[in-house]
Amino acid sequence: MSRDETSLPALTNSLPKGLGAQAELPGDVGDMTVRWQAQGIIDELLADSDPESQWTRVQLRELVEAHPDSPEQALLEHLTATTAVTNAQDDGTQGNQAEQPVEAPAPVPFTRRSRNRIEAVLGDKMLMTAFQPVRQLPAGHVIGVEALTRFVSDDGASADHWFTEAQSVGLGADLEIAALHRALTAAQAVPEHLFIALNLTPATCMDPRIQGLLEHSQLAVDRIVIELNGHVPANQYASLTASLAPLRGRGLRIAVDGAGAGFTSMDQVLELHPDIIKLGRPFIDGIESSEWQRLRAAAMVELARHIGADLAAQGVETQAELAAATELGMVAAQGYLLGRPSVHPLDWNAWKRSESEAAPSGS
C-alpha cells in the first residue's frame, strides 16, 4: 500500500534487473521516462498567467535555456532556488543567493525549512506519477495499475519521507491532493480497460475536496480504486464510510491492507467491507516455504470470500511466490516480477488485454 519509495534521481537505479515481464526500451530509458513528465511540468508552469508568478516563470525560462536538453535538471535547480529564496527570507538574510548558500535542512526534526520545501513542491507542482501494472491470476492479463508518486528532488528523499514531512508541518492533505491531481491527469493516457488504484490516507479521504476532484476528473468513477494507506482508527469507521458512500454508490472501489498488526486488519476489513484486500511483503515474503505464512494467507483468502472481496498479492518478486499466491486462490498480483513502475505512456499503452502479454503463472 506504499506510495512508493523512489525519488526522481534514483529512478533509473532503484528497480532490480531481470525480474520484470516488461520489456526494456532502447537507449537511456531512465532519462527518457523522467524527461517526458518533467517537460510536461515545465510547460504547465510556463503556461500560467498569474501575475504573481511572473518572476518564477522568468527564472524557470532561464534555467530551461541553460539546460535545453535536460528539463529534469532545470526543474531540480528551480526547486532548489525557490526553496533557498524562501528560507533566506525567513532567516532575514539579504543579497545574492549564489554568494550565500543556504544549508540543507536536516530531515528530522521538521522545521520551517521543511514547510518551505513542501510549499515549493505544491506551488510548482514538482511531482509526477509512475504506474505499476496489476495482473489477473492465473491468466496474467493486466487488469489495472497502481499510481505511485515520484518527486522532483535533489536530495534523494523517498516519497514516504516527503509525505511524512508534509504531514508533520500540516500540509499532508495538500500534498496528497496534489499527487492525486497529478495521477488523475496522467491516468488519461492509461488504456481505458484498466482500473486506476490511487493511494490516500483515511484522513484525506474524508477531506471534502476529494469527492469533487474525483467526480470532475476525466476518469469514470467505476475505474477508480482508492487504496487506504494506513490504519483507520476505530472511531473513524463511520465517518470514513459515510464520506466514501456517494462515490462507492457510483462504482468506486476501496482496497485495504490486510497486513496490519494483530486483529487490526481484520477489524478494518469487517467494518469497511472493502472490494479488495491487498497482502504486501509481510504476507508474501516466504509464502512458498513457510507454513505459518501460508496459514495466514489462507485465513485472509477465507475472509475475502466471506465478505465478497478480491484478494491481491503485492510485492511479488519470485516465481515461487507467484505460484503460491495463485495456488492459495489470490485473484490478482503485482510486483517487480510482473511489471516495473513506469512514468512513460509508451509503457502504459503497452499494457493491453491480450494472451500474448500474460505473465508466467508459476505452474
Q: Tens digit of pLDDT for each residue in 269-310? A: 888 999 999 998 888 998 999 988 888 888 888 989 999 999
Rounded CA-CA distance 254/238 in Å is 15
H-only helix segments in 187-318: 202-205, 208-215, 237-248, 264-272, 281-284, 291-307
pLDDT tens digits along 234-271 = 889 999 999 999 999 999 999 998 765 444 467 788 88
Confidence band for 17, pLDDT divided at 50, 70 and 90:
very low
Q: Which of 11-15, 33-37, 147-151, 259-263 has the lowest mean pLDDT?
A: 11-15
Burial group, residue 354, by CB count within 10 angstroms (0-12, 13-18, 19+): exposed
To the question of pTM greater than 0.95 for the whole model, the response is: no
The pLDDT of residue 354: 45
* Better-predicted residue by pLDDT, 240 or 117: 240
Rounded CA-CA distance 296/283 in Å is 7
The pLDDT of residue 107: 44
Rounded CA-CA distance 249/297 in Å is 30
Domains of the chain by start residue, with CATH: 1-363 (3.20.20.450)
Q: Region 64-73: what's the mean pLDDT?
A: 78
% residues pLDDT > 90 (the chain) = 39
Rounded CA-CA distance 117/88 in Å is 12
Residue 333 sits at φ, ψ, to 5 deg, of -155, 155
